[in-house]
Amino acid sequence: MAKFSSVSLSLLTALSLVRVGRSTCPVMQCWYTLEKGRGGGLATAANQVQSLLFIQTEEEKHDPESVKPAPDIDHVFFITDPSGSLCHRALDPPKGSIQKPHCELNHLQPQPSSLGWVAPLTDTDQSPLFLQAQWFAATIRGVDQEMSVTSVIRAPVESQHNVILSVTTQTVYVAARLGDPALLDCSYWVDPSSPLHGSGFSVEWRYQFRGSGHLVLGYDGKNDRLSDIREQGATLDFQSLHRDRNASLILSQTRVKQSGTYICSVHVPHLVAQVALELEIIEPPVVSIHPSQLPLIVPGQTLTFICDASGFIPLSLVFSWELTDSQGNVRLLGQGSVSSHKEGNDATYSQTSRLQLDSSQLEQGRGGKLSCVAEHPGGTRRASVSLNVIGFSSPSIEDSMALVGVALVLYGFIKFVSWTFTGSDDNEADEKKKN
Ligand SMILES: *[C@@H]1O[C@H](CO)[C@@H](O)[C@H](O)[C@H]1NC(C)=O
């Protein structure tokens, strides 16, 4: 199908000017998956075509009369979103910006949920007439990981598209320190004029990591009931949920195994919308150096140091060794020989680096400092040990005193030896005389 060419881009610019008032609601390029039969089964590149979504609120509407059909864009949708969720600035980046929101529009078939704890929602089958329309789901990820939204759209007639249900997150990516609490934002909106409004809702949080997943928490808002299965330390702010439709997941104390994708789904009778967000647990290492204290070093000695970095996550660590002399000049000594990583009980990692240091590299007679630096996404950590090398280049007072002492001892020793030798010579002479 038609590709998005420069022709359509300039057309898009022209169309944007048609916006009524000072609305911030965007005109968005969106991949539209054609219905089965027209383009095939699954959503593949072959049956996805470019479309334009003209987002509008009830007050701020685009003028359909002034929108000329683009030569290479077959599908233009005017979508009315009374909540304004789709008018977020992350979905409308400034003109010319390279980053664009990612948008997909798919057909949707309303159906009762098959989840056990959501079933009560569809007990009373009161909205079949309302459901008789075309339904779409628009999933849009804004720029800079600022927000992501999924809207369920009802089209009773071809020219009318109304958002009925939206689920939004303002935290597409969350980074938390190990053991800290984390808040995964999710909120929803249901069109108050639809018959689905006020007929109950459910919230489901699921966790997904490398193909496997599990239920984190389920909440039946109609009966105020939590699912039996729920993860320890995971909860919702129920007051805020009922009052502000705030379905954010609260994790009281993050564990390493909680890194992954979280899906927030909000069900209303026959409809569901969901957003995905990413939680990453990041913990920098604790770094120590061995030996941490050294006796005086003699020139010509080879010293072995071990740098131990532990308790970090994710597995991404760069070691380096630095030698700082008494003047503060830093010399880089490379990364040392780095061990393979080990996994601890709490699923964090540990790793070591070994450094062989020839003491002739050290400045004799002056102090110095050897540091191990561990660079990690959670921060850079370092550990140091001070080095002192015996030397004669510029002796300190203590060294001088020691030297005087050594000199005295030497003097005494020489005296003693010479006396002993002189004595034995005398004896030898005496012996000779006797013979
Ligand atoms: C949603 O609830 C959480 C937990 O009480 C709170 O921290 C957060 O600020 C709320 N979000 C909004 C948008 O009100």
Cα 235 to ligand 1 centroid, rounded to whole Å: 12
Residue identified by tokens 């990413």 is 278
Q: For ligand 1, atom 11, which residue shows the shortest CA distance?
A: 246
| Equal fold, 4-282 vs 286-387 | yes
For the domain made up of 4-282, give the CATH fold.
Immunoglobulin-like (2.60.40)
Query: Considering the entire predicted model, what is its pTM?
Result: 0.77
Q: What is the DSSP letter of 313?
A: B
Which residues, other chains included, contact 401 with Cβ-Cβ below 8 Å and sequence gap of 6+?
A: none
Q: Where are the domains of the chain?
A: 4-282, 286-387
Cα 247 to ligand 1 centroid, rounded to whole Å: 8
Q: What does the DSSP assignment read for 256-298?
A: GGG-EEEEEEEEETTEEEEEEEEEEE-BPPEEEEESSS--PBP
Whole-angstrom CA distances from 5 to 2, 10, 29, 268 are 8, 9, 12, 39
Q: What is the mean pLDDT of each run of 10 residues along the chain (435 residues)?
A: 39 42 73 68 68 87 69 85 90 85 92 67 64 93 92 91 96 96 97 88 93 92 89 94 96 94 94 95 96 76 92 96 89 94 94 90 74 96 86 53 66 71 49 42
Select 286-387's CATH number: 2.60.40.10, 2.70.180.20, 2.30.29.30, 3.40.50.720. Answer: 2.60.40.10
| Alpha carbon distance 381, 236 (integer Å) | 35
Q: Quote the tokens at residue 194.
A: 């639809």
At 334 the pLDDT is 93
Mutate to test the pocket of ligand 1, among 237, 250, 266 (most ligand atoms within 8 A of CB): 237
Burial class (CB in 10 A: 0-12, 13-18, 19+), 42: exposed
Atom from ligand 1 closest to the CA of residue 246? 1
| Alpha carbon distance 414, 124 (integer Å) | 111
Cα 276 to ligand 1 centroid, rounded to whole Å: 18
- State if residue 170 touches ligand 1 by the CB under 6 angstroms criterion: no
At 281 the pLDDT is 95
At 144 the pLDDT is 87
- State if residue 235 touches ligand 1 by the CB under 6 angstroms criterion: no
Atom from ligand 1 closest to the CA of residue 250? 4
209-264 pLDDT, tens digit each:
888 899 999 999 988 999 888 899 999 999 999 999 999 999 999 999 999 999 99
| Alpha carbon distance 218, 225 (integer Å) | 8
Which residues, other chains included, contact 372 with Cβ-Cβ below 8 Å and sequence gap of 6+?
A: 287, 289, 305, 307, 319, 320, 321, 336, 353, 355, 382, 383, 384
Cα 430 to ligand 1 centroid, rounded to whole Å: 107
Residue identified by tokens 């300190």 is 396
